[in-house]
Structure 1
């Protein structure tokens, strides 16, 4: 349990909160004193499994649904912080991708991020706040076979920069984090990953995948949450429009 209570009395939104980086952020915010959390995910069971020592509003639904945000804006009074994190994985060569598969990724990873950030900034307009958007090193370094994912992650990083310019006069800070490999459930959507896990186990699979990372390891969701909470916190009061890379040296 953290003794640091730098989010005491604050209200925060976290999307993709049922697992991985989102769940780690929700737990860290609660441990560090957050008063109220609004958690959004399509995984109702995952949201229900989070046992947090604060007031929690669990919302089951897609971040790409405009009606969800219209409803939430009518329910919350204000926000201090937002973690724009929900996303899905993808695979396939660009020339071979079906447009429906492309749109499925863009719907959540780009359109959903836009709807989330826009609603959050409106909720922060009166007294200011801070937001962090989850981008990816695949939005910086091109990786074959994950076209829509990489394109969407590049787009949300630039969206964060534009939002930082627009939010600054209202004391709203917006930054992005670009993780490299992180051990989260997003890998479970890959058939190749699942076959490797069946053959040699998850730990060995992740270690092999991390062979292209100079540090030789994938990060934990908790490590990413620590970095995200730094960007959200008052300790980063002079940081906005920044894309912070946390990748073990992957893009070197």
Structure 2
């Protein structure tokens, strides 16, 4: 059986860990030729070795580094996944300017700059863009001022990209995950556990109790959403946001707990 991404080149930004790493691994199994871009040092090299891809070490906020990643695509690109991101918990009344600017720079501006640089190759191929947003774009917590703003901006940018370049054959969509077991979420749970006097597993368990499916997602489950949006199975899907939160926003009786 033909693999769904056979013969296609995919650039995955933020591929060293978490959702980006899981997406690279799944895309490789589906036949994609990979360029893996971002920070991560040895972790990015390990991801490249595991997937047969090429590692391009660099910062998604720097035009020269993005240019190196595009150059590594050797003039052809069918799929772009923007999975690079960071979170620093903060509240509206005490947002640190440097944290705000860095968060938006990585989560929003970096994705925009990578998309912008990739557009000529994507237009040539009639390619697909998948941006990793977050349900925080729609239901931000009090402690996610910078992060939620960056992800809401990414949703809006993705829709603008879809409508501006649909005529070029480019599809652009976003995935909005809820809680996923990644190094970033583990950091957040460590902070929550410290405040509550518990541990990471207890913090995750309490969180799972507020989700309809009763559990935290694994990165591979979000990678599967990316695969759908990048593949021909989503050939008429553009400007969409695929929410994958396990029903985390649905059970209102649990949200007060």
Post-superposition CA distance 1:191-231 (Å, at most 9, x none)? 5147489953x443312122222222111000000111001
Are the counterparts in 2 of residues 187 and 193 from structure 1 also a CA contact under 8 Å?
Answer: no
Structure 2 distance, partners of 1:84, 1:197, is: 34
Structure 2 distance, partners of 1:71, 1:197, is: 44
TM-score w.r.t. length of structure 1: 0.92
Structure 1 distance, partners of 2:195, 2:17, is: 21
Q: How far did residue 73 of structure 1 move?
A: 3.2
Structure 2 distance, partners of 1:133, 1:74, is: 21
| Structure 1 pair 224–59 and aligned structure 2 pair: CA distance change class (3 A) | same
TM-score w.r.t. length of structure 2: 0.90
What is the number of equivalent residue pairs in this alignment? 247
Structure 1 distance, partners of 2:45, 2:72, is: 20
Q: How far did residue 163 of structure 1 move?
A: 0.5
Aligned to 2:191: 192
Q: How far did residue 107 of structure 1 move?
A: 1.1
Choose 169-178 or 44-53, whichever is displaced more: 44-53
2:41 paired residue among 40, 44, 67:
44
Structure 2 distance, partners of 1:74, 1:210, is: 42
User: RMSD in angstroms over aligned alpha carbons?
Assistant: 1.9
1:146 partnered with 2:144: yes
Structure 2 distance, partners of 1:18, 1:188, is: 16
2:216 paired residue among 208, 213, 218:
218
Structure 1 distance, partners of 2:51, 2:86, is: 28
Structure 2 distance, partners of 1:10, 1:208, is: 41
Aligned to 2:80: 82
3-state SS, counterpart of residue 55 of structure 2: strand
Structure 1 unaligned residues grouped into runs of 5+: none
Structure 1 distance, partners of 2:195, 2:81, is: 31
Aligned to 1:18: 16
Are the counterparts in 2 of residues 196 and 205 from structure 1 also a CA contact under 8 Å?
Answer: no
| Structure 1 pair 197–63 and aligned structure 2 pair: CA distance change class (3 A) | farther
Structure 2 unaligned residues grouped into runs of 5+: 251-257
Give the alignment of 1:87-106 within 5 angstroms: 87-106=85-104
